Amino acid sequence: MTTLSIDTGDLDVIAKYADTGLVTDATTNPLFVAQAGTSGDARYVAFVDAAIAYAKEHAGDDDVVALAMDRLAVELGLEIVKLVPGYVSTEVDIRASFDTDESVRRARRIIAMYEAAGVDRSRVLVKLAGTWEGIKAAEILEKEGITCNITLIFGFAQAVAAAQAGARLISPFPGRVKDWHSANGGEPTYEPADDPGVVEVSRIYAYYKKHGHGTICMPASWRPSRGTGDPAFAVDEILALAGTDRMTIPPAFLDLLQGSDAPVPRNLEPAAAAAACADGALPLDESAFRLAVNGDMATTTKLAEGINAFIAETAKLEAAIKAKL
């Protein structure tokens, strides 16, 4: 019904779930890479040392730290591809989110390192933020056979633009959409079907099916629609979106799902969603995209928050690498 990815950089946890057959893919982000790079675990220390050695050998003085950071993400990814049969997602430096050329350069470098290690580019999703510049980078990369995951999706315009660019996959964040609405005049809790994040992702899914976009809808980042009164509520949004193309889910929520014997009805189905979609085709150039995003305060706020949070984690990793040079 829905292909599951595990949202963690913990190799032991990935191995555990991959062995069950419950998940086929794994996603990482700057937080996970930073945690790995600063954990002190001997395996991850070895990854950092290998990344620094690689960068010293292959980079000029002005690029050693940046290459070491890219290489560390690849070192982690190279271990993950041994554990899962499907995709591994590796994120371009989040600080390039407003620079198309730099995003393309870093993505090509990431893929080149994977391929030099014997991993085909078809196994790797390059993660780019859902800015105009990130989406345009994906448009260039997809034409080169470099598949992209447009992340930090909070609104319809981002999703439409990513599909128009031919991105392989998007990661909308229903939980953070709910957070914004609950903090800005919405209800603190919702029935799952009425959760603003669920409504947003369902709309995106329906639009893709109606208009023939092949872009995969893979939501991430979850919240309990009905609040924290019952541990089972933690997977409200996940169950409400059952049937979407893919999901990436953190280990704690996979544990809840695995431990439940309750039936999981399919709530999203391609033909029914397409038939119910009320949105006509929405061509978006840069001006229209920026206007739409500017008018969507959930997107504007949460995109900035997400980028800034990942920048902070990237800075921690950068400092740790500089300290070892």
Alpha-carbon distances, residue 158 vs 42, 133, 153 (angstroms):
40, 11, 6
- Can you say how many angstroms the Cα of residue 163 is from the centroid of all Cα atoms in its chain? 15
Task: Supply the DSSP symbol for 48.
Answer: H
Find tokens 């080169």 and name the residue.
144
Beta bridge partners of 216: 169
DSSP 238-276: HHHTTTSSEEEE-HHHHHHHHT--S-------HHHHHHH
Residue among 56, 127, 178, 210 flagged as catalytic: 127
DSSP 166: T
CA 98 to chain centre: 17
Q: Give the Cα separation of 202 and 76 in Å (integer).
A: 32
Active site residue 302: no
Structure tokens at 76: 């982690």
- Would you please indicate which residues are annotated as catalytic (active-site) residues? 127
